[in-house]
Amino acid sequence: MNKIAEEWNKILDTCVVGRSLSRYGRELYFPKGIVAQASEAGKLATTFNATVGMAYVDGEPMILPTIQDNLPRLSPTEAVSYAPTAGDLKLRNLWKEELLRKNPLLEEDKISLPAVVPGITNGLSQAADLFVDEGDLVLIPDLCWDNYPLIFETKRFAKVVPYKMFTPGNALDLESIGRTIEAQGSPAKAVIILNFPHNPTGYTPVKSEALALAAHLKAIAAKGTDLIIICDDAYFGLFYDEDVFKQSIFGLLYDAHEKILAVKVDGATKEDYVWGFRVGFITLGARGLTQDQFVALDGKINGAIRASISSSSRVGQTLLYKELSSLIYHGIKTKYAQALEERFRTVKKILETRQTGKVMRALPFNSGYFMCFELERGNAEELRKYLLKNEGIGTIALGDRFLRIAYASVDNRDIKTLYQTVFKCADELYGPQ
């Protein structure tokens, strides 16, 4: 049991609350990870706050005019009526159309109709409820969003095991998943989390890597292990380098092998700059599924949603449908993506001017909101606190060695100052770089 959960249980055990907690309730805790650190930065980061996975302009979140303009124009039905359990049917169909447009590898009749869930976190949780039993093997990247252990290990009591994201030479480790599964005795079933663009590093496989990774997973399935592969596509579409694989890896997996079930969890959260809407989607595919099986699967998903959150926000779905239907949607969205790419290019240029052999080295990044430093010496949490206390700059420490910077949340004009200050503080703490 997590130490935080143990501490809370000791406090609650003296009253009726502690006596009434379920096993799941006793295991629950709030990680001292990204959200907690971002909350601390919200109070103290007076210069720059590069913690939150949101994109800002002049201190305010980016918002598309197609969203802002529609807010006062909604009818009561569009604004406050209950939405169907799995989401507004028009929106579900439109999101599927968008998936097919953005991912030409997908075939319409071989994937389920996306179901609406209140955000990507809930989509992952619904997938866990549907497919993860106590003791099941769940593989997550060794560098990952701190909600994965909470969802799969704490909530579902799975056996969560990390796989290597990168080799020592900073290349994507394409065979780590297979090695990890073999080390666990090649069980009959394994759940694998793939997250591209990756949080915290901001890396997406290039085309050759994506094809090789899909072939590797297919080979594992061919040896006899049923694979449930959950594609966390939270930052989909924010690809900055030309050779990046610009489709979801779901498209390489949903029809790859009879023993592979692919689950795509995505949403408007980051793709459409509506973080607080909490409108996500869950889509599934597997080779050979019949339409009757898709109907039954949709029924299972409806049951999971009904039993947990009943249905998602109507107003968020309404606004998203109007946004996706707008004639100016794609053009404006492209401009926003270009603004984030400009920040990416600025960071890359800054790092290219740095000399080698530093206290910190950048891990590969080519997409998304973030990049990540690995500390060659020193402590990431110590550096995070030093930046926050002395410079009013918020960053995210991941363990002892890694520092994540959300450059998407800092205006391009300020990025140079941000990085200069990070380097300066690292020098002050750990010597010249």
SS (H, E, C) the chain: CCHHHHHHHHHHCCCHHHHHCCHHHHHCCCCCCHHHHHHHHHHHCCCEECCCCCCEECCEECCCHHHHCCHHHCCHHHHHCCCCCCCCHHHHHHHHHHHHHHCCCCCHHHCCCCEEECCHHHHHHHHHHHHCCCCCEEEEECCCCCHHHHHHHHHCCCEEEEECCECCCCCECCCHHHHHHHHCCCCCEEEEEEECCCCCCCCCCEHHHHHHHHHHHHHHHHCCCEEEEEEECCCCCCECCCCECCCCCHHHHCCCCCCEEEEEEEEHHHHCCCHHHCCEEEEEEECCCCHHHHHHHHHHHHHHHHHHCCCCCHHHHHHHHHHHHCCCHHHHHHHHHHHHHHHHHHHHHHHHCCCCCCCEEECCCCECCCEEEEECCCCHHHHHHHHHHHHCEECEEECCCEEEECHHHCCHHHHHHHHHHHHHHHHHHHCCC
Per residue in 20-70, pLDDT (tens digit) is 766 776 886 767 777 678 878 888 888 888 887 778 888 877 888 887 788
Distances (CA, A) of 262 to 20, 108, 128, 142: 37, 15, 13, 21
Domain with CATH 3.40.640.10 in the chain: 74-325
What is residue 40's predicted lDDT score, i.e. its pLDDT?
A: 82
pLDDT value at position 110? 95
Q: Which residues of the chain have pLDDT under 50?
A: 356
The segment(s) of the chain belonging to CATH 3.90.1150.10 are: 31-53+331-430
Supply the pLDDT for residue 18.
67
Residue 356: the pLDDT is: 45
Give the CATH fold of the 74-325 domain. Answer: Aspartate Aminotransferase; domain 2 (3.40.640)
Residue 359: the pLDDT is 86
CATH topology assigned to domain 31-53+331-430 = Aspartate Aminotransferase, domain 1 (3.90.1150)
Write down the pLDDT at residue 357: 52
